[in-house]
């Protein structure tokens, strides 16, 4: 498992950064409904940046390891919604976060 993480480390880190950028972009899109066009433009910039980082990430790791990392978007979205929009993190959401995290770790460590 450790060798897989070491082999794909740069790609994994870039994929995590990509997920964060995409989630921030989506948050700005949501906020643009009340805050205006400038928030929508910032959202597009973050989303595009996330997409570009994702493309670069594929250069530094195995597709079978990196593609499932996009599931982290759901986790980041839950936390952003809680901290920025005041949404509640329910026990069901916590269970989902746990399942996604364990799955990503197992898949990330399974490259041979």
Judge contact between 66 and 11, C-beta under 8 A: yes
pTM of the model: 0.84
Domain span including residue 12: 2-108
- pLDDT for residue 4: 66
Could you read off the pLDDT of 30-84 as tens digits, one per residue? 999 999 999 999 999 999 999 999 999 999 888 888 888 888 899 999 999 999 9
User: How sure is the predictor about 7, in pLDDT bands with cuts at 50, 70 and 90?
Assistant: confident
- pLDDT for residue 56: 95
What domain count does the chain have? 1
């Amino acid at each position: 498992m450790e060798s897989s993480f070491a082999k794909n480390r740069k790609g994994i880190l870039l994929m995590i950064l990509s997920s964060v950028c995409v989630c921030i972009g989506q948050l700005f899109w949501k906020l643009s409904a009340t805050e205006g066009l400038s928030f929508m433009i910032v959202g597009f910039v973050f989303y595009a940046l996330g997409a570009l980082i994702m493309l670069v990430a594929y250069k530094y790791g195995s597709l079978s390891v990196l593609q499932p990392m996009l599931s982290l978007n759901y986790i980041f979205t839950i936390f952003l919604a809680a901290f920025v929009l005041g949404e509640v993190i329910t026990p069901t959401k916590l269970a989902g976060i746990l399942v996604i995290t364990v799955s990503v770790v197992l898949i990330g460590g399974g490259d041979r």
